[in-house]
Structure 1
Amino acid sequence: MFVRTESFSQYIRLYPVVTFFLALNILTHLVTLIPVIGNEVYFFGVGVNAWIAEGDWWRLVTPMFLHADFMHLLFNMFSLFIFGPELEKIAGKARFLTIYLLAGIFGNIATYFLQPLEYASVGASGAIYGILGAFGALVYYTKHILPQLRQIILPIIAIGTIMTFLQSNINATSHITGLVVGFLIGLSYFHPKRIISWRKR
């Protein structure tokens, strides 16, 4: 299910929303590496709670498209590359877009309210955990139909959650909030009655 065998062109055609977010995150990171301009872009978008409190509301959105370093970007984009396509295929483009954005944004909102004013964060992790949360909801509804999905997703969610609290410099608030938001949205999107209505269209 999570083994990607598509060619580059097939991947772009089949998963346009995932491709868009992959490209946006990678290009944004490359821009932040440009001398002078890169620093301006990074500091314009980083989620600093004190600056949000002063009215920089866009920082509730922009941090999910910035990354601290290459390894941070690589880990998040690899996760999006692997897990995103299957969810986009199952949920559809618009629903996947909703899950991804709302999980990331609410992760940043929770960070603002639950962390101190001096707290600063960047990264797409909240949105990535939203994808995992949505799969968790799918597992909830299909545990007797798709046992393989359950065997794959639940350990990944468990390991990801544990590692969130074991590693340093991790925005645990964003991770957990994204996971919960993705799960709740998934409960709505993947409800059996709604799935049946999709198939009748």
Structure 2
Amino acid sequence: MFIRNESFGQFVRSYKLVTVLIAINLVIYFWMSMYPKLGGQLIEAYGVGSNYHIAMGELWRIVTPIFLHGSIMHLLFNCFSLFLFGPALEKMLGKGKLLIAYFATGILANIATFILAPLFYFHLGASGAIYGLFGIYLYMVLVRKDLIDPRNAQLIITILIIGVIMTFINPGINRYAHIFGLISGAALAPILLRKITSASLYSMASDPNEVTFDPNRWQKHAKNKQRLKIIGIVAGVLLLVLYFLQARL
């Protein structure tokens, strides 16, 4: 479910929305890195989540932080999370519902930050939306067990437990966005997954180059079980390392 074995071209063709979201994050970050003075001015004047400016009526700041990042490690953590956990949801929900889930959870996380954080609190990053996707998976693990196999459920729970712990340990983390992004994703999941059945996950490819979505494709052969476990552990560790580093930089 979370193992990516497609070529770059197959990934782009099969997961168009995830590809676009990752590309937007990368383009914005590296464009601002090329023009740091202008980029810094634009972030400060229009983009960064600022509770004071939101209170003064600049409501767009509830949305713009979703596509802004404070460091390369911050960017890589969120893009890598999208790369790992976005494709399965894009195939399961479709592009429209995934887009709604991504923006809705990111916006709700930023609204919670505005309500709960101090007036002069500043934040940026897509972590609220990323944790929103985790919230959808958490709902599957707890309620819709037919949509996720035990190994992937175990991976999600492990990452979430460590991620939540590190959210409260590491300084500089928008804890409000992480926690309420997660809650928002779990709250929206019953609506998003209402018509999804385990049978509907096995889509037929109309294009021979398109990758079909089979959440258990790596467990159909015994020889792949150990490989799945190793790759899952490596992916989880790498994600956690990126999480720790982005919190430090």
| TM-score normalised by length of structure 1 | 0.92
Question: How do 1:31-50 and structure 2 match up within 5 A?
Answer: 31-33=31-33, 34-43=35-44, 44-50=46-52
* Counterpart Cα distance in 2 of 1:187 and 1:158: 22
> What's 1:179 paired with?
182
Contact 1:138-1:187 at 8 Å conserved across structures: no
User: CA RMSD, aligned part only?
Assistant: 1.6
Cα offset, 1:184, TM superposition: 1.1
Contact 2:92-2:196 at 8 Å conserved across structures: no
> What's 1:133 paired with?
135
* Counterpart Cα distance in 2 of 1:28 and 1:181: 26
Contact 1:101-1:127 at 8 Å conserved across structures: yes
Q: Which has the larger radius of gyration?
A: 2
Contact 1:25-1:66 at 8 Å conserved across structures: yes
* Counterpart Cα distance in 2 of 1:3 and 1:35: 36
1:147 is the counterpart of 2:150? yes
> What's 1:4 paired with?
4
Higher RCO, 1 or 2 (CA under 8 Å, sep at least 6)? 2
The residue type paired with residue 61 of structure 1 is: V
> What's 1:71 paired with?
73
The residue type paired with residue 141 of structure 1 is: V
Structure 2 runs not aligned, ≥5 long = 201-249
Structure 1 runs not aligned, ≥5 long = none
- 1:124-143: CA deviations, max 9, x gaps? 00000011101111222333
* Counterpart Cα distance in 2 of 1:132 and 1:81: 13
Aligned length: 196
1:158 is the counterpart of 2:161? yes
> What's 1:102 paired with?
104
Cα offset, 1:87, TM superposition: 1.2
* Counterpart Cα distance in 2 of 1:82 and 1:174: 20
